[in-house]
């Protein structure tokens, strides 16, 4: 049996607390993200080729957008399990599913590192921007493969390297410089933890996945004024709370520094991967 690791457990609690707190921001920012990230969701869904009657699982679903697009494709007869570690996020997802009139979705609080589902119970798993945040991504991949039927597919997205994602890297650096976030090693859980395609591939292989394809999708997060964009980022990011809690002077200094260093184009790159159980 694995020894309990108090540091890892604390990291898991912190992660849950931060995403619970960010759920309201994802409710408000949902439309913004849905429009800009649609290309990624479509890549992930096309990759697993959903068919009527299938059982699909979305992990770290947040507001559920990606899985909801697939839910329509598995009807009639198929069910989507929309899951996240955070009940507050699932509440956002429930509201959205009701707006969409979806009737084949169930909602479950699931930590992807220990999935409370039987062996070989789902045909496909989707996860957009979740695994890199997990304390033990290998455990999450092993669990994912356990619940997939043999030959079932996992498709996932993780942010690519910082140089291609200045919209994430610059605010992070500025927050660290201003004492509002902690520096962390590159492999530690966080937006860039699985940015190296070789590490991502190696973890999937170690978890027993085969037929692994890793690709990249370019996104455009520009178009809004800096102030509008920064407000959305602060609402949706788990570190936004630290900035909101800072003094008005510090908040202004951070925003000014990010605006100065970040190009108005705000391009983004995400890795996408398909793997077979």
Ligand X SMILES: C[S@@+](CC[C@H](N)C(=O)[O-])C[C@H]1O[C@@H](n2cnc3c(N)ncnc32)[C@H](O)[C@@H]1O
Q: How many residues make contact with ligand X (CB under 6 A)? A: 21
**For the chain, what is the total number of helices (H) and then of strands (E)?**
10, 7
Q: Which of 68, 107, 129, 192 binds ligand X (CB under 6 A)?
A: 129
Give least dist CB 191 to ligand X, A: 8
In terms of CB distance, is 76 or 89 closer to ligand X? 89
- Smallest separation, CB 189 to ligand X (Å): 8
Non-local CB neighbours of 96 within 8 Å, separated by 6+ positions: 30, 63, 64, 65, 68
89 binds ligand X (CB under 6 A): yes
Output 253 or 267, the one with its CB closest to ligand X: 267
Residue among 13 and 252 whose Cβ is closer to ligand X: 13
What is the distance between the alpha carbons of residues 166 and 236, in angstroms, rounded to a whole number?
17
Sign of CA dihedral 163, 165, 166, 172: negative
Q: Counting contacts by CB under 6 A, is residue 96 touching ligand X?
A: no
Rounded to a whole number of angstroms, the minimum distance from the CB of residue 59 to ligand X is: 6
Between 74 and 126, CB nearer to ligand X: 126
- Hey, is 6 helix, strand or coil? helix
Site for ligand X in 40-69 (CB under 6 A): 59-63, 65
Closest approach of ligand X to the CB of residue 130, in Å: 4
Task: Provide the terminal-to-terminal Cα distance of the chain, rounded to the nearest Å.
Answer: 25
Give how far the C-alpha of residue 30 lies from the chain's centroid of Cα atoms, to the nearest Å: 13
How far is Cα 166 from Cα 177, in angstroms, rounded to an integer?
A: 16
Residue 132 near residue 191 (C-beta atoms within 8 A):
yes
E strand map for 168-243:
210-220
CB of 42 to ligand X, least distance (A): 13
CB-nearer residue toward ligand X: 117 or 253: 117
| Contacts to ligand X from residues 130-189, by CB under 6 A | 130, 133-134
19: its two tokens: 């995403």
Q: Are 58 and 79 in contact (CB under 8 A)?
A: no
Are the beta carbons of 100 and 68 closer than 8 angstroms? yes
Q: Given CA atoms 101, 104, 107, 110 in this order, what sign does their dihedral have?
A: negative
Q: Return the residue nearest ligand X (CB atom).
A: 62
Q: How far is the CB of 257 from ligand X (least distance, A)?
A: 24
123 binds ligand X (CB under 6 A): no
Enumerate residues 8-37 that contact ligand X by CB under 6 A: 15, 19, 33
Q: Which of 85, 144, 155, 235 binds ligand X (CB under 6 A)?
A: 85
CA distance 200 to 132: 9
* CB 63 to ligand X: min, Å: 6
Positions in the binding site for ligand X (CB under 6 A): 15, 19, 33, 59-63, 65, 84-86, 89, 111-113, 128-130, 133-134
């Amino acid at each position: 049996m694995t020894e309990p690791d108090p540091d890892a457990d604390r990291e898991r609690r912190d992660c849950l607390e931060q995403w619970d707190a960010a759920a309201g921001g994802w409710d408000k920012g949902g439309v913004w993200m849905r429009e800009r990230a649609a290309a990624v969701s479509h890549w992930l869904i096309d990759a697993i080729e959903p068919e009527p009657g299938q059982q699909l699982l979305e992990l770290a679903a947040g507001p559920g957008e990606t899985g909801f697009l697939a839910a329509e494709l598995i009807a009639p007869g198929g069910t989507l399990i929309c899951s996240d570690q955070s009940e507050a996020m699932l509440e956002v997802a429930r509201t959205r599913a009701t707006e969409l009139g979806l009737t084949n979705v169930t909602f479950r609080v699931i930590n992807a590192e220990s999935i409370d589902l039987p062996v070989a119970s789902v045909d496909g798993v989707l996860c957009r921007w979740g695994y890199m945040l997990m304390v033990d991504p290998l455990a999450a991949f092993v669990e994912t493969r356990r619940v997939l039927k043999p030959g079932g597919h996992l498709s996932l997205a993780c942010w690519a390297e910082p140089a291609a994602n200045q919209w994430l890297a610059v605010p992070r650096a500025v927050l660290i410089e201003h004492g509002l976030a902690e520096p962390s090693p590159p492999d530690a859980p966080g937006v860039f933890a699985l940015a190296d395609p070789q590490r991502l591939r190696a973890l999937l292989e170690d978890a027993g996945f085969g037929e692994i394809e890793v690709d990249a999708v370019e996104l455009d997060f520009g178009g809004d004024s800096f102030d509008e964009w920064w407000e959305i980022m602060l609402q949706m990011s788990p570190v936004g709370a630290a900035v909101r809690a800072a003094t008005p002077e510090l908040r202004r200094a951070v925003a000014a520094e990010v605006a100065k260093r970040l190009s108005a184009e705000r391009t983004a790159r995400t890795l996408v991967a398909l793997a077979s159980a």
